[in-house]
Amino acid sequence: MQNVEMLLIDANKLFREGLKKLLDGSSFVISDEADSMAEGLVRLEAGMKPKIALVEFDAGSDDITVLQQMREKHADLKLVVLAASTRNIHNLARCFEAGADAYLLKNISPDALKQSLKLVLLGEKVFPTRLAAMLISGQVDTQRPATASPDLEGLSEREIQILRCLLNGHPNKVIAKKLSITEATVKVHLKGVLKKINAANRTQAAIWALNNGLSAENAAIISPRRGAVAHGGGTTPTSASPMEFGSGV
């Protein structure tokens, strides 16, 4: 594998130096660094062309706006968000909406990080495995509205059930079994949901559901499926996901 140049954006110089040492000897090379998203964008605008940008995300700043600008101006750049926590799922959702290719925890092991970066280069979406269990157990702060979102009122109960299944990462076969309907019926409902909420794919539908107060309730299983990959913090990434990515239904 040829060397992959990366831009590292993080306010903590000690973290930046440590990460460079951890990646030393691998095919992933941090060729430039910045201490803020704004500075990182300036580096990119100056002509730097890394394959991957590792970016620290600060929910309390305008980082999400800069992340969107990076995606809009540099379509081929892989954006990997480095986060300290997954306590608030909406931060993860906002990052993927803005164009992130991965959402990784800073305590990820070196081997898992390298594997995750390889998957990102292959076009996968990567995020923490533990998020699935946290969703089911209610440990994640979903900031659920006290009243139903007006947008939800236009959906049938069955369509809402379909959205909950998407949050659990269920493929159509599992959704059909769970709801006691056929796969063909699942596809019909899913296409209807995507049209109603103006979502292009299952990923956008799942993120829309999260942003409108739905959670992964009554989850029975987390189903392995290719198209989205989760990392387990200190372990090698697996194919279990609370959200299913891809363009199909």
pLDDT the model gives residue 97 = 84
pLDDT of residue 214: 75
Q: Give the burial string for 108-144 (b: 16+ CB within 10 Å, else e).
A: beeebbbbbbbbbeeebbbbbbbbbebbbeeebebee
**Distances from the Cα of 91 to the Cα of 41, 86, 106, angstroms:** 20, 8, 15
Distance CA 216, CA 218 (A): 7
Residues of the chain with pLDDT under 70: 59-61, 85-89, 129-151, 215-249
pLDDT, tens digit (0-9, with 9 covering 90-100), for 28-65: 999 999 999 999 999 999 988 999 999 998 766 688 89
Structure tokens at 149: 């979102």
Map tokens 């800073």 to a residue: 106
Other CB atoms within 10 A of residue 147 CB: 7
Q: Can you list the positions of beta strands (E) in the chain?
A: 4-9, 28-34, 52-56, 78-83, 102-105, 125-128, 228-231
Taking the C-alpha atoms of residue 232 and residue 128, their distance in angstroms, rounded to an integer, is 6
Which pLDDT score is estimated for 227? 42
Domains of the chain: 4-135 (3.40.50.2300)
Q: What Å distances lie between residue 58 and 8, 38, 63, 67, CA to CA?
A: 15, 12, 6, 11
Return the pLDDT at 61. 67
Separation CA 204–CA 207 (nearest Å): 5
pLDDT, residue 244, reads 36
State pTM to two decimals.
Answer: 0.62
Phi, psi of 12 (to 5 degrees): -90, 105
**What are phi and psi for residue 222, nearest 5 degrees?**
-115, 115
Query: CA-to-CA distance for 32 and 207, rounded, in angstroms?
Result: 32
DSSP state of 200: S
What one-character DSSP code corresponds to residue 208?
H
Would you put residue 233 in left (φ > 0), alpha (ψ -120 to 50) or beta?
A: left
